[in-house]
Amino acid sequence: MSKKIKVMLVDDSAVIRGLISRHLDTEPSIEIVASVSNGQMAVNMVEKAAPDVIVLDIEMPIMDGITAIPLLIEKNPEAKILMCSTLSEKGAEITLKALTLGATDCIVKPTTSSGIASGEDFKVELIRLIKTLGPVNISTSPASQTTSSSTADPANEQPIQKFSLRSELSDYKGKPDLIAVGSSTGGPQALFSVLPHFKGFNIPIIITQHMPKTFTTILAQHIQTNCNITCHEGAEGMKLENGVAYVAPGGYHMELRREKLDTFITLSEGPPENFCKPSVDPMMRSAIEIYGRKVLGVMLTGMGNDGKNSFTDLAKLGGMIVAQDEETSVVWGMPGAVANNNICSAVLPLNEIGPWVNKAVTG
């Protein structure tokens, strides 16, 4: 028998904890080791319970989730914290703060207990995230893959590091005309580290971060505030401007179209790609159609392999690609998929990616 992923539930509603417990009980590879009603109880129990993943509510009496995060990390730095937040502007704002404090990822919680009880999408996504954030040495048997076809997603696979960098002889040596960034789990923290190095660029920056609507609006605002660069959530018909960053809005694929000498954003309501919407691949494909090898691709931490196909297309044209290394990634899924495909110009620790891109752009 494989070791199970140990989960702690922290929510002030006993009804919500019970409903989430019933969802998780359907997955044989997950074990609930603690279920508590506030952050103080979680802090008191976290060392003894030793969870791999903490599903943490935000608003609770005695101690809320935001206050609890640094205390939980101090007592159990190995545990991954999954914020469970409502889809509201306030919820998104607080969740982004939680991510900057060290939470790993977030999931949107239905606003009612009946929504949680009947929400198959919530159940599937919750299990998928927990299985991804759990220890990499935990495997799941075929029998456990029963919740949905999406639980068989390569998001739960950990790439084996056997990559090699492609020859610099094949790289485009000129200045790029566009930077395209992909990220998912752990992405907000990574973006806040990398993007300050893009200040003063005279080319546009496009970003797909896997997040729901409202959350991407707040993310764009935080990027502008924390990274000191102009940043917008992408909107239909928005013209790309040099030095400005654009974040794909949750629930849409952000693509580009060319009109004469100008490039504009177009939003697609097409089906998810790689289980994601927004997805990196549609953004990159449209960028490559316009800019060709003059796109500089940046792949940051995230689960799954979204972006692998389009980044491969960019590599075939000679475009430069940098991926975050395994040691500094929260989940080495997306960057690992790119690195292990042997198409990267560089695979670097997070703190070296911004300077590397800056040198590529400014010389």
Question: Residue 163: inside a domain, yes or no?
Answer: no
SS3 for 359?
Answer: helix
Indicate which CATH number applies to the domain containing 21: 3.40.50.2300
Question: Residue 159: inside a domain, yes or no?
Answer: no
φ, ψ of residue 286 in degrees (nearest 5): -70, -35
Out of 35, 37, 85, 184, pick the active-site residue: 184
Question: Residue 160: inside a domain, yes or no?
Answer: no
DSSP string, 105-125: EEEEPPSSHHHHHH-HHHHHH
pLDDT (0 to 100) of residue 359 = 95
Out of 11, 23, 35, 210, pick the active-site residue: 210
Question: Residue 274: inside a domain, yes or no?
Answer: yes
- The residue segments making up the domain with residue 77 are 5-148
Name the helix (H) or strand (E) containing 57: none
Confirm whether 325 is a catalytic residue. Answer: no
pLDDT (0 to 100) of residue 156 = 44
Name the helix (H) or strand (E) containing 47: helix 39-49
231 with 330, same domain: the answer is yes
User: How far, in Å, CA of 143 to CA of 297, rounded?
Assistant: 38
Out of 279, 306, 310, 325, pick the active-site residue: 306
Number of domains in the chain: 2
Q: Which of 148, 179, 209 lies at the terminal end of a domain, its last residue?
A: 148
User: How far, in Å, CA of 173 to CA of 363, rounded?
Assistant: 10
Question: Residue 358: inside a domain, yes or no?
Answer: yes
Q: How many Å is the Cα radius of gyration of the chain?
A: 20
Rounded average pLDDT per 10-residue block, the chain, 363 residues:
86 93 94 97 97 95 95 96 85 90 89 74 91 70 32 43 69 91 95 96 97 93 95 98 97 96 96 94 98 97 95 95 96 95 95 97 90
Instruction: Give the pair of three-digit tokens for residue 52.
Output: 């791999």
Confirm whether 210 is a catalytic residue. Answer: yes
Nearest Cα neighbor of 341 from 302, 320, 315, 317 is: 315
pLDDT (0 to 100) of residue 230 = 97
Question: Residue 202: inside a domain, yes or no?
Answer: yes
Q: Which of 90, 115, 148 lies at the terminal end of a domain, its last residue?
A: 148
In this structure, are strands 80-85 and 178-183 parallel, antiparallel, or unpaired?
unpaired
pLDDT (0 to 100) of residue 136 = 63
Confirm whether 232 is a catalytic residue. Answer: no
pLDDT (0 to 100) of residue 143 = 33
pLDDT (0 to 100) of residue 3 = 87
Question: Residue 57: inside a domain, yes or no?
Answer: yes
Measured CA distances, 79 to 25, 130, 157, 282 (Å): 20, 11, 19, 33
